[in-house]
Amino acid sequence: MTAQDESLDVWIDQELCTGDGICSQYAPDVFELDIDGLAYVKGADGELRQEEGAAVPVPADAVRDVVDSVKDCPGDCIHVRRVSDGVEVYGPEAVDTP
């Protein structure tokens, strides 16, 4: 089983975000820097989710870009979870990150 087979969601810990914008370059449909210089997740409606710990679904066609963002995020603060059980599959708390 790979994470790509499952529905995923993603959230950002803004406390650790450096604001470099790597994620928003890799996956602009999912991540965006706000006026405060920090990255937030973005829903399919294009609205940023600014509540602490807010998550959005990872669109199937953005999984690869989101995973690359996780790997290259200098703040180590992008968390991708499996929706079915809430387990982090990519991110600093993932146990099986490839």
Residues 40-79: x/- map of binding to ligand SF4 (CB under 6 A)? -----------------------------x---xxx-xx-
Handedness of CA 26, 28, 31, 36 (dihedral sign): positive
Stretch that binds ligand SF4, among 3-11, 14-22, 58-66, 79-87 (CB under 6 A): 14-22
Element (H, E) at 11: strand 8-12
Residue 22 within binding range of ligand SF4, rule CB under 6 A: yes
**The only residue of 6, 9, 18, 92 in contact with ligand SF4, by rule CB under 6 A:** 18
As a 3-state breakdown, the chain gives helix, strand, coil percent values, each rounded to 5, of: 25, 25, 50
Minimum CB separation of residue 8 from ligand SF4 in Å reads: 16
